Amino acid sequence: MGLFDFLKKKTDPAAGVDPQVARRVEELITRLKDSAPRVRMEAAEELRKLGVKAAAAQVALEEATCDEDNEVCTVAAEALSTIRRALDAAAR
């Protein structure tokens, strides 16, 4: 470990997320697998609005980008992009 390696370490911006928010994210991840496209789309949109707090939903959103419903795919991709941009910005 070099003298300035501590500068390279990035803190996890999603760490320390409020437990209530974490539970909500888990609920929304479950809703991404609902049989109704409208429910899946609304879940992805809500995850997008949570931004960095929804970092735990990235894998589920990646899967949702291959949804059979095109609107769900689009909203999931937008949510994933928003979350990743927020994570990237927080890591700088």
Per-residue pLDDT tens over the stretch 7-39: 444 445 556 678 999 999 999 999 999 999 999
> How many residues in the chain?
92
Cβ atoms of 48 and 72 within 8 Å: the answer is no
DSSP assigned state of 32: T
DSSP states of 39-69: HHHHHHHHHHHHGGGGGGGHHHHHHHTT-SS
Looking at residue 10, its pLDDT comes to 47
Q: For the whole model, what pTM was predicted?
A: 0.82
